[in-house]
Structure formats: structure tokens, C-alpha cells
Chain A
Amino acid sequence: MKVFLIDDQKITNVLNKKYLNMIREDLVIYDFDDPELALEALEKEMPALIFLDLNMPIVSGWDILSFMRNQNIEIPVIILTSSNSQQDRDKATLYHNVFSFQLKPLTKVGFTDLLDGALKLGKEEDLQSKLAPDQKTEK
């Protein structure tokens, strides 16, 4: 199962990668501290899940969400941000592939719950086709 970590702060990606690897061993994690590279890799790699920061210079999390909407790329997104503004939360609901809005820092427990949530959601909706087959083949 492919997972993208997009955050301009390298340390955040390092921490998140460590947590994700702790929880599950079957994850292929791509981390990007340059969102532009993430944009380029998106269509080619088609990950099953994206952890996305919002406040980034040049290309913001919003730019990436808009890009996905314009390209009809349907990948579940978890927003992981240090901004707790209600305005951002409201804006995020406008993107239907955003299924969680999380405040940094996210710890081991948080990641476990989120992944469980993502898998459950995947069984009900189109996540299934992305998460479940990967899960089977990996196992």
C-alpha cells in the first residue's frame, strides 16, 4: 500500500514515517518536502492515502487538493496541519476526498486510529479498491 507524506518540514515527514512503519509493515511510504515533486509523482504512483500539510511555500496543500479535483484524482487525503483555524476546517469540507482534518503533532495512537478509520472507510467506499487489494497482495 502506497502512502504519500507531503510536508515542507523534513522532520515532520521523518517522524510520521517512523510512526507509520511502527504500526504497519506493509506500507510503501513516499515522503516529499517539496510539494511540487509530490504533484509530479501523484498520477504516476497513484498512492492509496495522502497525509497533506496545508501551509507550504510556493505550492500549498490547497493547491494540491485543487489539482487533484481538476484531474479527477480520487485519493483519500488526511490533512495534517499546525493551523487550528476554523476557516481552514470549513474550506477542507469542500473537498470530498478529505476525510480527516488533524492537528499536529500526530502521535502513535493518532496514526493507529487514522489508519483504522481509513481502512474502514475503504471497505465501504471506493477506498476499498485501493486499500484492500494492496492489503491482500502484501499479505
Chain B
Amino acid sequence: MNATQSYLGYKILFEAMVRFSAGISEVKSLERLPYEISRHLKYLINFQNFRFYYTVPEGMDLIMVDKVGYTSYVLSCQLDPDTLEAEVMETGIPGHIKCPETGDNLHCWKFANGKDQHSLIRIQSHDTLSLAENSIPLIKVINKMVSTRVENLKMVDLIHRQNRKLENLTVALQSKNDEVRELNRMQEATIQEKTASLKSSNSKLKALIQFNSHQLREPLTRVLGMIAIKDDIPQSEFISDILPLMQESVVDLDFAVREVIERSELLNEEMETT
């Protein structure tokens, strides 16, 4: 009879444990965790108020669940120094006090989960015996499951945050990349433009030089030719045949010089404006 009863009790406890474990392992965010705990915890232990503290670099995260369904998750809070939790946190010795007003029992345990990582569980309950004796292994298992889940979810959070950072970085990089590409494109266009304008001025200058050399040399050679023949013919012939034609050639030369200057100035203006 007794054996059957305790067998049944274990079976129910086992069932509740499975549901608790499955429930919290399906939770996808820390904020959702207290609610899931409150759904299943009442089948495991008899409590008025349940608190789970989890050490983080900035202090402690706190999960609060009470019997009527109030739940919350507090990030990075500090322990009140005069509380039972603070004492247990410091000494590591499980604590138990009786609340003078309500007559409730306050139990608190400290757990070491890994290197420099601790958690506290504080339970406010009407009874004391069940908690103090039968429930200790149960509390340990609950701590193990909750702290593992908190650690996992924090890890997932961290990965998500890092992913987001990476995404932001990628976007920033891409936009920088686009900027650089745009700058390159603009520079290339400027270089091409400059090259084209240089090429065009170059060929204009070449054309001008060619024009100048011929334009000036042609009348000049005529004058030179006339001067050269002076000693080869009689002076009277030079005066009658050559001299009258010389003036024409000199005027042509003067005209050519003027035109050359005019063209150079025109080209100068043209190149300055482009």
C-alpha cells in the first residue's frame, strides 16, 4: 500500500518533471522563461513565491514566479544586502528563516554551475518539512535545468546580437564599397574627359604649328629668293623686274604674321574655356 502510494507519487513527479523540462526547453527567449516555469513548477513543489537568481558580469538576472501567476524576468539587478539571498550568496550555506508576519518559510540555496557562474534559488512556502528534506534533490534538478536554459538562451542572444552586428557591418561595408566604386567611376570619367581634351588641344596645336610654318615660310622664301638673285642680275633688271614684286611678297608676309598671331590667340581662348 505504502509502496504503491510512493510509486504513484514518483510517477506523477516524473511526469511533472518531464513537462517542466520540455516546457522550458521549448522557450525561445529569456522573457518568456518565467511564464513557462510558472506553468509547470506548481506540480513539482508547493510554493508561494519562487525566485531564481543567475550571476552575470553586471550583477544578477532574476526570474520571479508566484503562485497566482505573477511572473517577471529582471536583467542585471543587485541583491539587497539585508536579505536572506545576500547572506546565502556570501556564505554559500543554505538558509532558512520564518517570516514573522505571514508565518511562511523562506528557503535559499546557492549553486555553483560552472567557472565563476552561480545561481540562487529562493522559495517562499507554507510548509517547511517537504522542502527541507524531500525536495532538495528536486531543487537541484530544477536549478540545473533552469540555469542551463538561461545559459543557452543567453548564448543564443549573444549569437543573434553578433549576427546583427555583422549584418550591420556588412551593410556598412557594402555602402562604403559602393561609394568607392562611384568615386572610381567618377575619377575614370574625369581622366577620360581630361585625356580627350588634352588630345584635342594637342592636335589643334599641331595643326596650328603646321599652318604657321607654311603660312610664314611661303612668302618669306619668295623674299629670300628675290634677295638672292640681286647679285646675279644687272641692277637695272633687278629694279625693273624684281623690286616691284617684292612689295607684294612683303605685304603677304606681314599678313601671314598677323594671321598666325590671330589664330594663336583664338586657340588660346578656346583652350582656356575648355
CB pair A55–B214 under 8 Å, yes or no, is yes
Asked if A11 lies at the interface with its beta carbon under 8 angstroms from chain B, I say yes
| In the complex, residue of chain A having the shortest beta-carbon distance to the beta carbon of B249 | A11
CA gap between A120 and B229 in the complex, in Å: 26
Indicate if the CB atoms of B221 and A104 lie closer than 8 Å: yes
Complexed CA–CA distance, A85 and B210 (Å): 8
Assess whether B133 is interfacial by the CB under 8 Å rule: no
Inter-subunit contact A19/B221 (CB<8 Å): no
Q: In the complex, which range does the number of interface residues on chain A fall in?
A: 20 to 34
Which residues of A in the span 67-104 have a Cβ within 8 Å of any Cβ on B?
Answer: 82-85, 103-104
- In the assembled complex, the CB of A52 is this many whole angstroms from the nearest CB of chain B, namely 15
Q: A83-B217, A104-B221 are in contact. Are A11 and B229 (CB under 8 A)?
A: no
Contact (Cβ within 8 A) B249 A19? no
**A123 on interface, CB distance cutoff 8 Å:** no
Task: Quote the shortest CB–CB distance from A101 to chain B (angstroms).
Answer: 15
Given contacts A18-B233, A22-B232, contact A11 B222 (CB under 8 A): yes
Looking at the complex, which one of B210, B213, B226 makes contact with A11 (CB distance below 8 Å)? B226
Q: Are A105 and B222 in contact (CB under 8 A)?
A: yes
In the complex the two chains form, is A19's CB within 8 Å of B213's CB? no
Report the minimal beta-carbon distance from A69 to chain B, rounded to whole angstroms. Answer: 24
Contact of A55 with B218 in the complex, beta carbons under 8 Å: yes
- Please, how many angstroms separate the alpha-carbon atoms of A83 and B213 in the complex? 8
Task: Using CB atoms, name the residue of chain A closest to B244.
Answer: A11
Contact A15 B214 (CB under 8 A): no
In the complex, what residue of chain A is closest to B248 when comparing beta carbons? A11
- In the complex the two chains form, is A105's CB within 8 Å of B228's CB? yes
What separation, in Å, do the CA atoms of A107 and B225 have in the docked complex? 7
Q: In the complex, which residues of chain B have a beta carbon less than 8 angstroms from the beta carbon of A9?
A: 218, 222
Residue of B nearest to A103 (CB): B221
Q: Is the CB of A104 within 8 A of B232?
A: no
Complexed CA–CA distance, A108 and B233 (Å): 11
Q: Which residues of A contact B269 (CB under 8 A)?
A: none
A–B complex contacts, Cβ < 8 Å, 16 sampled: A9-B218, A11-B225, A11-B242, A15-B229, A18-B229, A18-B233, A22-B233, A55-B218, A82-B221, A83-B218, A85-B210, A104-B221, A105-B224, A105-B228, A107-B229, A107-B232
Interface residues in chain B, defined as those with a beta carbon under 8 Å from any beta carbon in chain A:
210, 213-214, 217-218, 220-222, 224-226, 228-229, 232-233, 241-242, 245, 248-249
7 shortest interchain CB distances as A-B pairs: A105-B225, A104-B221, A82-B221, A11-B245, A82-B218, A82-B217, A105-B224
